[in-house]
Amino acid sequence: MIKLKSVSVSVNGRLYEREIEPRLLLSDFLRHEIRLTGTHVGCEHGVCGACTVLLDNKAVRACLLFAIQVDGQELFTVESLAESQDDLHPLQNAFWETHGLQCGFCTPGILMTMIPFLEENKDPTEHEVREALSGNLCRCTGYQHIVDAVLLAAENQKKSN
Amino acid sequence: MKPAPFDYIALNSIEEITSALNEYGDDAKILAGGQSLVPAMNFRLLQPTMLLDINNVSKLDYVKLNGDKTLKIGALTRQSTIEKDEIIKEKFPLLHETMPQVAHSQIRNRGTIGGNLAHADPASELPAVCIAMGAKLKLISKEGERIIPSSEFFQGMFFTSLEPNEILAEIQIPIPTEHSGFSFMEFSRRRGDYALMGVAAVVVLDKNNNCTEAKLVYLNAGDGQVDAKKAASVLGGEKSSPDLFIEAGRIASEEEIDPFGNVHASTSYQRHLANILTQRALKIAFERAAKKEQNHD
Ligand SMILES: Cc1cc2nc3c(=O)[nH]c(=O)nc-3n(C[C@H](O)[C@H](O)[C@H](O)COP(=O)(O)OP(=O)(O)OC[C@H]3O[C@@H](n4cnc5c(N)ncnc54)[C@H](O)[C@@H]3O)c2cc1C
Ligand code: FES
Ligand code: FES
């Protein structure tokens, strides 16, 4: 038997401490241990992007990290974006307005990919948005509305600055 | 889709890594970015019983220019760091232009250059680019270090000359001469996917724009990277011309590469791609080298 190890990790500003097996994936830690089920799991080999979270303000795959690796670190999941349904993040609002989601399975990963992207790219072109989306699969929308949503969010972001 | 049980330690220095490799031997695997290792473990293709996490070893994470001759990149440097590095953008455009074609941004945020090279996937861009640029690799074990040409490091599919007790510590790339031009071209089904075929081309021209040196290195073209020496040799002494590039493309695609084919591309399609990509890449590489030559005068 492999001994359990303790991890202590800050998720969305709150500290969680757990005893876990080293093989526990970060995606499963988030969903099953601390019950934040906004982070979705589609493929568990890095291809679909549904599990994307922010570590060090960078978008990373939660299914390709072991929870034990983020011991002592700080991360953010899709749950950090909005306090309530009436108080959505501007990017979430843009998805709403442009029909950027249908079933919503891919949406958390796409939001968590596009948040740092829009911080780094204040005025992205459609091509840059598509490039940034290349690591996220969506089986419903055909991507057009997702691209529209990100471009609208960028537009709104420019206006408010 | 969950990994088999294993034990885990996070290491803090190169000495700790080499000691741990001696202690645990073949049962252990180094965990760098995890972007190739973890999928393989999730599929249970690999079931190491001990993971040695090297992510805290900040001494392996750097990009620096050594004098004006060599670029040194620590093995743990993230692919996204390399992509954004200004020195690399300016002085090593081949590496800079290739980087966005390696996987997706989220993967590059974790994936390291050392992990990518040590994984030695024949479909990977970076091994081909390292060979084309004449990179050398520094390997460290408890016994000491050795520096070998990247062409000797890659031994075939997922196979390198790393000994079980060695780590890849540093990538050393000579600054391209002023009269050189390069191009990287690949064809993939979707941006960021592994390429069906790809080529890294480097040429050096003399004052009259005659080619004095050329390198053509292919990926996903056989049991490892394919350094097409014969195709490159027909470029020697020649000026840029479509016929020349057609000949080089023909030799490389018909005589030198040995692609396996897969569900997305038959071998004959892969050969066709290699032929066309060679012609396009050489045209650009020659143009770039010729431009530099003019600027210089
Ligand atoms: C969806 C997806 C798409 C991808 N697409 C591409 C692509 O188009 N092109 C491409 O090139 N790659 C692609 N990759 C792979 C990616 O580039 C990996 O990051 C890279 O191959 C491995 O680097 P890593 O740091 O993640 O290594 P790890 O996964 O941590 O390690 C890989 C192997 O190298 C060993 N290792 C790691 N570091 C060292 C070291 N310093 N010394 C000795 N051994 C070491 C490990 O033990 C392991 O065996 C893709 C990955 C995913 C998940
Ligand atoms: S579940 Fe992580 S990328 Fe698909
Ligand atoms: S909205 Fe259904 S997968 Fe994207």
pLDDT for the residue numbered B34: 98
Q: A11-20, long-range: CB within 8 Å, 24+ apart, which pairs?
A: A11/A36, A11/A74, A11/A75, A11/A76, A11/A77, A12/A36, A12/A75, A12/A76, A12/A77, A12/A79, A12/A80, A13/A80, A18/A67, A20/A67, A20/A68
Look up the CATH number of domain B58-174: 3.30.465.10
pLDDT for the residue numbered B192: 79
Give the minimum alpha-carbon distance from A12 to chain B in angstroms, rounded to a whole number: 19
ipTM of the complex: 0.96
Q: Candidates 3.40.640.10, 3.90.226.10, 2.60.40.10, 3.30.43.10; correct CATH number of B7-53? A: 3.30.43.10
Q: Candidates 1.10.150.120, 2.60.40.10, 2.60.40.3620, 2.60.120.260; correct CATH number of A90-160? A: 1.10.150.120
Q: How confident is the model at residue A3 (pLDDT cuts 50, 70, 90)?
A: confident
User: Which residue ranges make up each domain of chain B?
Assistant: 7-53, 58-174, 180-296
Is the Cβ–Cβ distance between B271 and B250 less than 8 Å?
Answer: no
Give the distance (Å) from ligand 1 centre to CA of residue B24. Answer: 21
What residues in A contact B5, CB-CB < 8 Å?
A: 2, 21-23
Q: From A45, A60, A134, A136, give the residue whose CB has the most ligand 2 atoms within 8 Å, as the site to mutate.
A: A45
- Chain centre to alpha carbon of residue A12: 12
Does the CB atom of residue A141 touch ligand 3 within 6 A? yes
CATH class of B180-296: alpha beta
A5-80 domain in CATH 2.60.120.1060?
Answer: no
pLDDT for the residue numbered A101: 97
pLDDT tens, position by position, A61-71: 999 999 999 99
pLDDT for the residue numbered B297: 47
pLDDT for the residue numbered B293: 61
- Which of A21, A71, A113 is nearest residue B5 as measured by Cβ atoms? A21
pLDDT tens, position by position, A104-159: 999 999 999 999 999 999 999 999 999 999 999 999 999 999 999 999 999 999 99
pTM over 0.90: yes
Give the distance (Å) from ligand 3 centre to CA of residue A139. Answer: 5
pLDDT for the residue numbered B296: 53
- Residues (pLDDT < 50) of chain B are 297
The residue of chain A nearest to residue B110, with distances taken between CA atoms, is: A60
Give the distance (Å) from ligand 1 centre to CA of residue B7. Answer: 20
For an interface test with B, the pick among A61, A114, A117, A131 (most B C-beta atoms closer than 10 Å) comes out as A61
- Which of A21, A68, A135 is nearest residue B192 as measured by Cβ atoms? A135
Whole-angstrom distance, CA of residue A79 vs CA of residue A11: 10
